Chain A
């Protein structure tokens, strides 16, 4: 209690508030931003190594191929997400029907699965790889197509979530007005509501694209199961596969991924805000035709079928392993790695919340100032930088400061902080923007010190967003492979452990570990939900 009292007193002093915010900015810069893009500097200092790689045409072909695969897959996946995500968002927000709650929950399930597990499950479902006795569909997919199928699963929920968040903000009145003026439903939606969607599309696009670009664990496992891990690469799997090799190719591909991703972020943002989509032309006949009868219904059915067949079934297919005869799971090892994973995710989330809230509040409240704009954009950087490249960059940065290898765990935590930080800041920024600043102002004129105004007034209002952001960051950290592998090979998180099992072709053990991990995640998420709901009732 006396600690809080001291914080209250300190918060009353403007200078100390400024100092605290300065400290937050410094932490953000030194611990997150600079290490994340440090590798770009290496491009110049280690030019010798890099130019060697540039001269090696075989290696360059591989690198270019990997980068091309990463970006084209991310683009295709994102476009599919948008096309299928829009009708789905509509169903979730605008259509009242029984069991909507369950559909809503089903939607989020793949997010609770570590991607490494998804990789295993998806390949089993579609491809039924050799050496696995559970029978899947046994389709012969090219690695390229398989990776697309995989990436859709864990990006699709993000897209639907960002789209429905925006759709909830858009009043149906506009559509109704358009329809009373004679527009068909389709035309009303296309010309009135869709253009208002831009913000949601941009967020969804950036999140899905970045997510697909970064993904390592699931992709790597899928490729491994298909036996093509040495011939088919994406950017992140290339880094993961060649960790032990020289720094030259690693630096090059990391920088390529980072720069391309950042350029793409800027281009996507400007295109989406500036580009005038020619949506004004109207075809009343066509619009009317497809607004009635079988078309809208079949669209809804298609959306739900897509969710079930492409997203949910392949994710849960791994449970088919439960029908298989017992396997020798090393429970000690599994528990140990689960503990490590939870430790990393927990520390990262706590750190994110402590240092993310002041940042989010500043961005939300000072968006129009110069510093506000810069921070707003800078927070996105770790989100868009592929995590494997980020992890590699981080390792180089701390390595160059001669941080010993015994710090592996700490460095991995730093890495996880870097890519989860934006998730929490984004979530809280959105929440703070919704809250009228007059609550805190009135509280202060009633005698509350700034920290009391925050903790007693603002905090209860944005609590659920903080928790939501925390869960998002926690599960994201739990499922991350690329950054962990790139920073500290010796740090055995669950996804890393599962990958090692797959590498050793211990498929049943890998599957069992995955199932147990999923179960733990579900229990954990369920517990968090219960706790937060109880909190709501008390408030």
Chain B
């Protein structure tokens, strides 16, 4: 279970964007770390540099403190599990799994034992003599995993390993994959652009963008305390607004938006009067009807610091629904609810949206401008 330390890695393929641009990351021994980022952020390049398929222009890579840049790929004991599985087409399942023991010339009897136990671990006993083209996507995935586990690698690099599978199977394999790698005590780096996958599987998540790691933390930290507006929007969608810090209190702050309304956010160290960006996770908001004025209750109570508006449309998404509310002067604000609330609302309803202030992040205005910051490349 080696600890992997990447330091200031730079790799320039000569395109307009560097694949690694001062990338630094520490992966603890035995950890399951997900690298999450949009397409083209440099995820795959990062994995390829770790196992030696790509040589960085500068920077260092150490396994347990030992520099591995000069170590050939075959000696690094870092196995790649690619998204196309790359099972060798002319070999059976058994021969594929036998590949590493064979080329390393391990004793035959123990190799056979090892291969057998790996194949049964991934539940492929019935397909031992099948060729890759005779297997389903999930079976290929399992075989590729068994092949990787049957080598003496201590590091497993997973490059979008679940991408090519059906949605259902993907959910099942998430758990299996993680429990097996934990059982084998491997250090795992799993690259994905699917935030749900990362949130569910990872011990820690590293967010990568434009060849840099911009935040590392547990799923909860990354989800609840994103370090940039980009992360706030990329990991669980957020409603994002620009404004100024109006007031700062012990437990929350108040932000004056550009349309002069004031909303509540978590407490911040940013000085009063500074331009800021706030992000409200769409899942952490509540929604309530605003009653038409009646005689007993002539003016509905409107708690200060939240939005009110008219429902624009309601999207049914299976387990959840998303309600888009048109807030005058601000635009569309989305909120996510469980699907049993579907019948409670209709478009045209007047509603109020509120949230626990602690769930709203406050950021300084990004240097490159908000639009550029939020772009998904």
Please list the residues of chain A having a beta carbon within 8 angstroms of any beta carbon in chain B.
12-14, 436, 438-439, 441-450, 452, 456-457, 460-461, 539
Q: Does B115 contact A (CB under 8 A)?
A: no
Minimal Cβ-Cβ distance residue in A for B157: A445
Within 8 Å by CB of B82, from A438, A450, A539, lies A438
- Which A residues are in CB contact (< 8 Å) with B89? 439, 461
Q: Does B179 contact A (CB under 8 A)?
A: no
B53 touches A444 (CB 8 A): yes
Q: Does B240 contact A (CB under 8 A)?
A: no
Can you list 21 A-B contacts with CB-CB less than 8 angstroms, sorted by A residue number? Answer: A12-B75, A438-B82, A439-B88, A441-B80, A442-B82, A443-B99, A444-B52, A444-B74, A445-B51, A445-B76, A445-B78, A445-B80, A445-B157, A446-B100, A447-B100, A447-B151, A447-B152, A448-B100, A448-B103, A450-B73, A452-B103
B46-90 contacts to A, CB under 8 A, are: 51-53, 72-82, 84, 86, 88-90
- Distance in Å: Cβ of A447 to nearest Cβ of chain B: 5
A442 touches B90 (CB 8 A): no
Q: In the bound complex, what is the Cα–Cα distance between A457 and B104 (angstroms)?
A: 15
A447 touches B84 (CB 8 A): no
- Which B residues are in CB contact (< 8 Å) with A436? 84, 86
- Which A residues are in CB contact (< 8 Å) with B74? 12, 444-445, 447-450, 452
Q: In the bound complex, what is the Cα–Cα distance between A12 and B74 (angstroms)?
A: 8
Assuming A446-B99, A461-B89, what are 10 further A-B pairs, CB within 8 angstroms? A12-B75, A438-B84, A439-B86, A445-B76, A447-B74, A447-B103, A448-B74, A448-B103, A449-B74, A539-B90
A446 touches B90 (CB 8 A): no
Q: In the bound complex, what is the Cα–Cα distance between A14 and B75 (angstroms)?
A: 13
Q: In the bound complex, what is the Cα–Cα distance between A442 and B52 (angstroms)?
A: 11
With contact pairs A441-B53, A539-B90 given, residues A446 and B72 touching in the complex (Cβ less than 8 Å): no
Q: In the bound complex, what is the Cα–Cα distance between A491 and B265 (angstroms)?
A: 93
Interface magnitude class on chain B: 20 to 34
Q: Does B148 contact A (CB under 8 A)?
A: yes
Residue interface bits B165-185, CB-to-A below 8 A is 1, else 0:
000000000000000000000
Q: In the bound complex, what is the Cα–Cα distance between A456 and B102 (angstroms)?
A: 10
- Which B residues are in CB contact (< 8 Å) with A13? 72
B90 touches A461 (CB 8 A): yes
Q: Does B227 contact A (CB under 8 A)?
A: no
Within 8 Å by CB of B99, from A14, A449, A456, lies A456
Of B72, B75, B148, the most chain A CB neighbours within 10 A belong to B72
Q: Does B218 contact A (CB under 8 A)?
A: no
Minimal Cβ-Cβ distance residue in B for A538: B90
Q: In the bound complex, what is the Cα–Cα distance between A444 and B79 (angstroms)?
A: 8
- Which A residues are in CB contact (< 8 Å) with B86? 436, 438-439, 441-442
Q: Does B147 contact A (CB under 8 A)?
A: yes
- Distance in Å: Cβ of A89 to nearest Cβ of chain B: 27
B102-160 contacts to A, CB under 8 A, are: 103-104, 147-148, 151-153, 157
- Which B residues are in CB contact (< 8 Å) with A457? 88
- Which B residues are in CB contact (< 8 Å) with A452? 74, 103
- Distance in Å: Cβ of B189 to nearest Cβ of chain A: 12
- Distance in Å: Cβ of B258 to nearest Cβ of chain A: 48
B90 touches A460 (CB 8 A): yes
- Which A residues are in CB contact (< 8 Å) with B100? 446-448
Q: In the bound complex, what is the Cα–Cα distance between A450 and B73 (angstroms)?
A: 9
Q: In the bound complex, what is the Cα–Cα distance between A446 and B102 (angstroms)?
A: 11
Q: In the bound complex, what is the Cα–Cα distance between A449 and B71 (angstroms)?
A: 12
Minimal Cβ-Cβ distance residue in B for A457: B88
A443 touches B90 (CB 8 A): no
- Which B residues are in CB contact (< 8 Å) with A441? 53, 80, 82, 86
A449 touches B82 (CB 8 A): no
Minimal Cβ-Cβ distance residue in A for B99: A446
